[in-house]
Structure 1
Amino acid sequence: MISFTTFIFTLLALFSLSLSAPMRRDVFVPPIIYPKSGVVWIAGQHHNVTWETDGAPVSITNGIGRVYLANNTIIDLDHPLAIGFDILDGRVSVQVPSVPTGQNYSLVLFGDSGNYSPQFTIIGL
């Protein structure tokens, strides 16, 4: 017969294991819906970057968002356009940076993963 002490320690061990079990979290990959292809932004202006939030999982692996500018799929990680917002907000305001005109740019939305926007244009002031 199992002693009472052994029984209690067994219950405590099982409880401890249940607390250490990883919680299921899902990767959320929201598509960027603005800016769209062909949009022209002017340096210095403010625009809302917008992404789809429908169908977001209940437990997101990383819900803190960041937005970066990319040129030819090269992301400018040294100069984030927005950081620290809730990825479920669906939008964040950014100030358009001064960059070389005549090139195609995209935005990259990071939370769980990096999503590139369609290419658009930035022109100087």
Structure 2
Amino acid sequence: MSSPSSVLAKTFLFFFALFGIFANLASAVPVAEVEKRDVYDPHVLYPHAGTVWYKGQRHNVTWDTSDHPVNITNYLGRIMLRKGLIATPLILEENFDILLGRIEVTVPWVTPGDDYSLVLYGDSGNFSPMFTIKE
């Protein structure tokens, strides 16, 4: 009869070997069959440095889509507000096509300041320049 630690060791080895088999199968897909995808982080055009927004206003956030790759890893965009060096949990807009080049957002009711920026997420995040939000 096997001891409990021996049974545990054998079970661990079985799952480790099974994982190795699946890892080998996954890596066996020829590279030619995998579609190459690119990371796309478009440059934010607006808001730009010197922009002043007022709480409750609506603005078109815009970004440059002129140099987008053919195959983008993630087409769904998200815009979040950032104050200073901290991304706030405020999502201003999400689930839009990153190739639109603009999306309208409403300025949230936040503490006034001149250290706000937007983070445009698609494949990766790209920050707008700092701008101001007033009451």
TM-score of the two chains, using structure 1 as the length reference: 0.80
Compare the two structures and name the one with the higher helix fraction: 2
CA displacement, residues 31-90 of structure 1 (integer Å, 9 cap, x when unaligned)? 0000010110000000000000011001101010000000112111x3200000000000
In the alignment of these two chains, the number of paired residues is 108
Q: Distance in 1 between matches of 2:47 and 2:112?
A: 17
Counterpart for residue 50 of structure 1: 62
2:102 matched to 1:91? yes
Q: Distance in 1 between matches of 2:125 and 2:52?
A: 22
Counterpart for residue 71 of structure 1: 83
SS at the partner of 1:118? coil
**Unmatched 5+ residue regions in structure 2?**
1-28
Q: Distance in 2 between matches of 1:24 and 1:73?
A: 33
2:44 matched to 1:32? yes
Counterpart for residue 119 of structure 2: 108
Percent identity, aligned pairs only, is 50
After superposing on structure 2, the runs of 4+ consecutive aligned residues of structure 1 that deviate more than 4 Å are none
Residue 22 of structure 1 and its aligned partner are, at CA, apart by 2.1
SS at the partner of 1:88? helix
Report the aligned-residue RMSD: 1.9
Residue 104 of structure 1 and its aligned partner are, at CA, apart by 1.2
TM-score of the two chains, using structure 2 as the length reference: 0.75
Residue 23 of structure 1 and its aligned partner are, at CA, apart by 1.0
